[in-house]
Each structure stands twice: as C-alpha cells, then as structure tokens.
Amino acid sequence: MSSLTESDIVRLEVRARDIRCALIDMLGSAPSGHTAGPLGMADIFAALYFEILQHNPADPEWVERDRLILSNGHIVPVRYVAMAQSGYFPVEELATLRRFGSRLQGHPERTRLPGLETTSGPLGEGLGQAAGIALAGRMDGRTFRTYCIMSDGEQECGGTWEAAMFAAHQKLGNLTAIIDRNEIQLGGKTEEVMSLEPLRQKYEAFNWNTLMIDGHNIEMFIDAIEAARLETTRPTVIIAHTIPGKGVPEIEGDYRWHGKTPTKEQAESWSTALRI
C-alpha cells in the first residue's frame, strides 16, 4: 500500500476535479480539440504532476527530472492544465488552446513550451522514444525515471510492439508505460475496430511487469507506480481502465466525443455541475 494519508488522497481527488473543470472551460473556448480522452485521464495526471513526478517548474531542464513522454498527443489538453496548475506557465494562457500562434497547440510541440520532452501526434511512436530515453539515462548513470503514456488504440501500431520487445530485451526497469484503456478510438470501440484483448497477456508474453488498475482510483495508481519502482530488471506497463469523458455523465463512454469539443453553453453547464 502507498504511504499516502487520507488527506493526501482527498487533496489529489480535488486536484483532479479542478483539472477537469479547467479542461472543460479551455475546450469550450477552443475552436477544436479532443474531450473524452483528456477528461478520462485527469486523475492520472493529477497524481503524476502533484505526487509522483520528480520535476521542477522553475527549472524545466533539470537533468534529473523524470521524463514524461506523451505518445497519444491528442490528449495534451489535460497535460497543459496540469502543467499550468503546477506553475510551468500562467493558467490564463490555457484560453489560447489551438489558437494561431499559441504555445498550446492541439498536439504538443517540444520547442514551444518548457516542460515538454517530445513533439507528438502520430500514434505509435512514444514507447520507442521513451525506451531510448530510459536506456540513455541508464548509460549516463542518471537516476531519473521515464514514464510513457499511450492510448489503447495505438496498441494497434506495429512500432509499439517493436519498442516493447526492445525495452524488455534491455531490461529497462527505469521505464514505466501507462496505457489509457478507455476502449474507444476515433472510429468507434477498440474491440470493434481492432480487438486488443488479451492485452495484459500480450505484454506479459513480451516479458513486461504488467499491472491492471482502475484509472480513476488515485491510490491504486500510486500503489502501481510504487510497485513499478521496485521492479529493477523489467519495464512495467500499467493498464489503466478509464471512462472516456469521465465527470460529464452525458458523454461518458461515447466515442463520438473522442475528437469533439463542447459548445460554450455545454462547457458552462458541465463545469458548473462538476463544481457543485
């Protein structure tokens, strides 16, 4: 079990709610974007930025910072909110999402914003990048850990499995992958588009330490992260079952909100309901 106190859990749950509210406000004023995935990952990003990651917003290039690679770049709005609330940039800048000239593009661009490790957009590339960073860190004698967030849909990409094989072969115990298992992608349900199951057994067959959790249970997620830190000779994958659109009952589980944003009126209604 984690060393978190009950007040720690409440603090992180409140943070996740605040992230969702800010997300909704930001998406409601954006001309386009993704809604379901970012809302579903708010609990995990709250835990990462406010409990797990070794990072320093005042020194984004700190050499021993943990590396967080966002492979599924389309969910970056949730990362932007967590970064702003952590102090990487003013929270007022969230209102510029996807605007012309904004640092907050629809997919993250490394050179635009301090605190981003990679530019992402094309799915299936993040795990390979993360494995390379983790190996380089070990070769340099660094202590940082590398985390890679992936969508479940990009498990359909062959490059993901090449990277999984490489990471296991290199015994990258300093690498933890987190799969957002929300069971949707742009074209529908994952199991209808391209069946992924049995996903856990596939990673186990590739010699990964494989854990499955409720992605909305922050304590369970932190317990899984702590278990991953104890595994020194194998990479770990945490398959986090989440609900796309979490926090907005009328869109929860609806794949049509994968790449759709609310109107300003919807956003105002949703954020008001969350804050009650």
Domains of the chain: 6-275 (3.40.50.970)
The average confidence (pLDDT) of the chain is: 97
Q: Is the pLDDT of residue 270 over 70?
A: yes
Note the pLDDT of residue 31: 78
DSSP 8-state assignment for residue 60: T
Note the pLDDT of residue 276: 79
DSSP 8-state assignment for residue 85: H
Per-residue pLDDT averaged across 138-165, rounded? Answer: 98
Please name which of 149, 182, 195 lies closest in space to residue 255, comparing C-alpha atoms. Answer: 182
- The values of phi and psi at residue 167, to 5°, are -65, -40
- Give the three-class secondary structure for 113: coil
Q: Is the pLDDT of residue 91 over 90?
A: yes
Note the pLDDT of residue 132: 98
Q: Is the pLDDT of residue 142 over 60?
A: yes
Query: What's the pTM?
Result: 0.97
